[in-house]
Amino acid sequence: MSIVMNEMESVSVVSAHAAPSADPVADESPDLVALVDLKWLMYAYGGWIDVPRLCRDSAYAGQCLERALAMPSELVHRTARRVLLPLIGSH
């Protein structure tokens, strides 16, 4: 498998999937498309994320954020902050 990353396209793809919700309960749940995008971004740099665990374990989310911020990609850094910081603060 070959992963080709264009930072501008990846950013627009990530944001294109997130649709605002009128349901306040749905707004509290994580954006699964963004989580999967982050999973594959990190995979491209040798990282791994267990998405189901990430959704229920804020300590694990913090560890994933630390690993993401250590990677050599600004796109990974921005995406991880956007996706993981709400999970860390929500549990």
Smallest CA-to-CA distance from 38 within 3, 83, 69 is with 83
> In the prediction, which pLDDT does 51 show?
93
- Give exposure, 64-75, as e/b (b: 16+ Cβ within 10 Å): bbebbeebebeb
User: What DSSP string runs through 63-77?
Assistant: HHHHHHHTSS-HHHH
> In the prediction, which pLDDT does 40 show?
95
| Tens-level pLDDT at each residue, the chain (91 residues) | 444 454 444 443 444 444 444 444 445 577 889 999 999 999 999 999 999 999 899 999 999 999 999 999 999 999 999 999 999 985 5
Q: Give the span between the Cα atoms of 47 and 35, in whole angstroms.
A: 13
All structural domains of the chain with their residue ranges:
30-90
